[in-house]
Structure 1
Amino acid sequence: MIPETSNEPDVVETITKSPEIYGIEGEDIVIRKGPGEKYEKLINVKATEALGETNYAQVDYSVKVIIQETNGDWSKIKVVDPEWLSNTHIGWILTKNILKSNSENEVDLKNLDSNDYEIIKTDHNSDVENFHVLIKQKAFDKESVFQFIKRFRNEHCSMNCNVLVYDSKSILPLIDKYPLKGKEYINLADHFISMSSFDAVNLKSWYPFQDFQYKEYGGQNWKKEKIK
């Protein structure tokens, strides 16, 4: 007996691969309209209307993104988390600010040279370790400090861990003093290079005390970069 044949077409199941989701390393990363600093910054329309002054769309360690395309050192990203930014925060940032797979972002975790730094104070408790660290190199930049912090974490942190980095021991009496005002605030701000907290290890904090208060007290040694 010849089996009956069906005239129904075969059903082909198509599986669409979801785009890979990435984190962001850093803070206050401005989104641009094209792949380069020559392109305009993307305006955050809602914030601009609410505050009455121009605000630009930015991303930081708290968001998740997908990559839509790449051009040279730049990638076009779209924020997918939080979802309410997904229609407005679409544009170009430097690819180096995107946290890709562990293998692509793996830091060379070679041992630190003990002559290059000194732990000047610790303040640990049952929940978190706190390291105050003097970096002894006279010449350093953002990238070298951030790499140092990652290596320091790898060597010294055994649990939730905050790492605070300074370039002078002179501020040691000011570390636990509160409140700081005037010259004391300026002094700490000028020598407090970076902070990496246990709950935001990918946040690249650079001279965290150089803020509006620093300017009000008359601080002149501004280290933070202006948005180009």
Structure 2
Amino acid sequence: MKNQIIFLVIGMLFLSFFSCDKNDIPKKDDKQERPKIAHYPFSTDYSDLTGNNDDARQENTSLKDGGVFMDGNYLWDDDEGSVLWIPKIKNFHPDNFRLSLGFKVARLPDLNKPIIVLGHRKRWAMIYITPSGQLNLAFNDVPRKKNLSDQSIEPDKWLNLSMERNETGVFIVKVDGIIFFRTESTVLDHENDNSLAAYHGGNGNMFHGYWRNLVIR
């Protein structure tokens, strides 16, 4: 009788293990397991909710419509223009990160304008909006005219941008969960520049629209 009970218990454990849903088994690369290293809501101020980093720096931006608004005019070309940047994000590793950002384009630009520039100094990855509403992905401060998204985005509409790179060099960009870009074996000349901005200082281009809820993992 004792042996029968032991075999019954072992059998139940065996069935329980193999009948469990694979989604119930934790994954090492589960996004929920990677902690936030920065979270800037831009709803009421420019602070990082995690407390890890300094406030975002800015000139002539305004907090409205649930985010931070930038007028599209580069400050050093226009005394009333705006800039927004975060000079240093602790533990932000360009070779392995996940980033998400809510954004809204005020209107389609006459010329390409940046939405976000990773690496304030090195500009190792950039997303631009084109006059047609397509996105352009550029690496190492070199815009690629042919590297345009097949999809276009609408102005005056909140969207969610996500950027992800892993240690194998795969770089993925999504908008509202739809893949806009996927590149393999991407080599970044980043020199550990762990900053980001809403403008390209080299050519004086500034994003025209809103940011909100910037999260980096």
On whether the aligned pair clears a TM of 0.5, the verdict is no
Structure whose CA Rg is larger: 1
**Looking at both structures, which has the greater relative contact order when contacts are Cα pairs under 8 Å and sequence separation is at least 6?**
2
More strand by share: 2
More helix by share: 1
